[in-house]
Amino acid sequence: MQQPRQKHPPLVAGLLVAVSAGPNFAAEISRAPEVIVTATRFDDAIERMAVNATVITSEDIARSAARTLPEILGTRAGIVSRDLFGNAGALASVDMRGFGATAAQNTLILIDGRRLNDVDQSGVQWSSIPLHAIERIEILRGGGAVQYGDGASAGVINIITRHPGAGRTGPAGSVQIGSFDTREANLSVSTFGETAGVRAFARNYESSGYRDNNHNRESNFGLSGTWSGSTIDASWRLAADRQGIRLPGARRVQPSAGVDELASDRRGTSTPRDYAQRDGNEASLDVRWQAAVGELALGLGYRDKAQRSYFDFGGFPDYRDIDLDVVNVQPRYRWRGSGWGATHTLVAGFDFARWDYALARSNSSGNVGQPFTRVGARQDNAAVYLLDTVELTDALVLNAGARHERQRIDATDEHDPTAPGGAFGSAARDGIDRNSAQAYELGARWRVAPQVDLIARAVRSFRFANVDEIYETSAFFTQQFQFLEPQRATTYELGIALGGPLPWLQVSAFHMDVKNEIRLDPYSTGVGNRNMPLLQRTGLEIEARRSLQSNLEVSGAYTYTRARFKEGELPGTTFTQTDVSLAGRTVPLVPRHKLDAALDWTLTAATRLRAEARYVGEQYMENDEANSFERRIPAYTVVDLKLQHRVGRFTASLTLANLFDHKYYAYAVRSQFVADRFNAYPLPERTFWFGLAYDGL
């Protein structure tokens, strides 16, 4: 069996260079002495928690040459971003700690503490969160299962949006133009009085895209507010997003047939009729009451999305109309006091979420009024949790917590053979499934010397299968609901942080065992997703930041991840492979090495240059669990530059992405039926953007 050829990144890429200092930019790079995060679901100082956390501020986002949220997240240790088209992050995914094709189901994405992961596999709509609307991003690697539950196997990314506050009154906005007829405009207005404030924002984005048939148009609108009283605080948010995107499909490579579309027609399309549309709306309310017996909080949220998509499939069209509604209720309580010789901070809470899912399938948008398939599902998740932060001494803090969560799913399927396109097929029997799972966390943070913290943690996490993962076609081409066991992961982690709340060096090593991992079986007809045998993941994550001169600072992020199947085999079929051994095989779409580098240099008081480099090691293609395919996704290095110049409240910027015009792709899938065929999704070569921003706050 051919083994992976591990490529080590060049030594010169070993440093990541990041922020600058200068009179006009100094305020943007200053660091507060205390960093507040919501890892306990209440605001708390990060040094009081045994967590492997990274905080990305709004200033970090403004400095970065990255243009999408997945790209920004992908510059951090332990995270790989994977894009398909390079058009505003549409259909991009974020993979934390090496889950590969199932990354979207194992990394929990939150916005203001509410999950964006849904019960289908549509993935997070990153464009629904404009960068200029983000206050900060909190990354909790390997943690958050006790606080947030289902889907936090790899960790949690909590995106905190901007709300009006004291000193934030006035307009702000930006415009950008760039390659592929790209145009983007952002506008926000904030006002704040003595006790209350309101903020409104709007965004519009349009681009023809790097690929043929990849036009993308997006719009976002939002309104948020805050109110503060003597004992009660409240915040609310309303948001809407719209997207319409054309889908260019993959580029096929098959040497035995003399086909290499990556070389002959890299920007072409094999699916000129395919498209997708999405409309989403969101409303949330958070109320906090400071009482004599502690702090009470109540979170209420509603979100819906309507998705329409068309896939031609070479003359066998498939039109899908999906509606999803989500309601969540999140009461929680925090108490601080002394007992048993230590200071305790107890957080207890109850989470309830309900998803209503409806799918209608037809052969065209005009016939969807009489679909040949209707799938409906209602999923309820209810959980209780308790987390205790114990301050044994000024230098030693313990975190201990547990969560119990129940899931109920009721699913139905109807088939109409008289509907257009419904001559073939059948309906699945109605399905009902009940599951429960537990999470726990035990951690310690010990300050062994001034600004030197040791962190040790043990975490149990879980995830339930979603609707798209249980609705499958049998070996006899009939529809079925194939329910799966909950996935369970146990993670052990050791780390060190040097330099206080925002350390200049942070190192963490982890080991994760995953039982019943929910993954696609690409070899066995009619099985679809299944619970896999034991998988193991081990890794090393390093982040560093140091000033070299008064106007130059360096930082670095290196990730080593080894994800492999520990045991087992897949039966397969004569059409693919039979008796596929998994033991010792590497999980597809997981690079062994990743390194990010950036340079932020203040040329003058008003001018700053940032250079970023990203190296991602080679990966096995999706569907290559056997590690037997002769080709892999090649390693790639991409360099970006961003030049900023400020005049008063205006800032002009010029960004060059993929400076050296590198031809690369981050995702590919091998064919299970043709020995040397695979499909790849090429990403853009050199591109540019020019922007002009105004900050009146």
Higher model confidence: residue 674 or residue 35?
674
CA distances from 308 to 126, 244, 278, 311, 375 (A): 17, 9, 6, 10, 15
- The one-letter amino acid code at 70 reads P
- Mean pLDDT, residues 675-691: 96
Phi, psi of 73 (to 5 degrees): -65, -35
Task: Give the model's pLDDT for residue 477.
Answer: 66
The single residue listed with the structure tokens 């201990």 is: 400
Q: What mean pLDDT value characterizes the chain?
A: 90
CA distances (Å), origin 684, targets 259, 472, 662: 21, 35, 8
Find how far residue 543's CA is from the centre of its chain.
Answer: 19
The predicted model gives 640-667 an average pLDDT of: 97
3-class secondary-structure state, position 314: helix
| Bigger pLDDT: 522 vs 8 | 522
594: enclosing H helix or E strand: strand 593-602
Query: What is the arithmetic mean of pLDDT over 305-323?
Result: 94
Q: How confident is the model at residue 579 (pLDDT cuts 50, 70, 90)?
A: confident
Percentage of the chain surpassing pLDDT 70? 94
User: What is the reported pTM?
Assistant: 0.92
Average pLDDT over residues 219-247: 95
Average pLDDT over residues 377-406: 96
H/E segment holding residue 319:
strand 318-339
Instruction: Specify the pLDDT at position 577.
Output: 83
pLDDT digits (tens, 9 = 90+) for 492-549: 999 999 987 788 999 999 999 999 999 999 888 777 899 999 999 999 999 999 888 8
pLDDT band, very low/low/confident/very high, at 472 (cuts 50, 70, 90): confident
Q: Mean pLDDT across the stretch 134-139? A: 93
CA-CA-CA-CA torsion for 464, 467, 470, 475, nearest 10 degrees? Answer: -160
Non-local CB neighbours of 373 within 8 Å, separated by 6+ positions: 359, 360, 361, 413, 414, 415, 416, 422, 425, 427, 479
The arithmetic mean of pLDDT across residues 75-86, rounded, is 95
> Once rounded to an integer, what is the mean pLDDT over residues 399-412?
96
pLDDT band for position 29 (cuts 50, 70, 90):
very low
End-to-end CA distance of the chain, in Å? 61
Task: State how far the alpha carbon of 455 is from the alpha carbons of 23, 293, 359, 385, 442, in Å.
Answer: 36, 31, 46, 23, 11
Residue 379 has pLDDT above 50, yes or no: yes
DSSP-derived secondary structure letter, 12:
G
Range 14-695 classified under CATH 1.10.40.50? no
Task: Give kind and range of the element (H or E) at residue 542.
Answer: strand 535-549
The pLDDT, as a whole number, for residue 251 is 98
Indicate left, alpha or beta for 266 from its phi (over 0: left) and psi (-120 to 50: alpha): alpha
In sequence order, the 6+-apart residues with CB closer than 8 A to the CB of 458 are 440, 441, 442, 443, 490, 491, 492, 493
State both tokens at 9: 């990144």
Confidence band, pLDDT 50/70/90 cuts, at residue 476: low
Which tokens go with 344? Answer: 């305790």
Average pLDDT over residues 589-607: 96
Residue 467 pLDDT: 87
What is the Cα–Cα distance from 39 to 111, expressed in whole angstroms? 13
pLDDT value of residue 474 = 67
Q: Where are the domains of the chain?
A: 14-695
Q: How far apart are CA 41 and CA 299, in angstroms?
A: 11
CA distance 401 to 347: 9
Mean pLDDT of 340-346: 91
Q: What is the pLDDT of residue 126?
A: 87
**pLDDT at 8 > cutoff 80:** no
State pLDDT tens for residues 480-492. 888 999 999 999 9
| Strand partners of residue 327 | 302, 354
Share of the chain above pLDDT 90, in %: 76
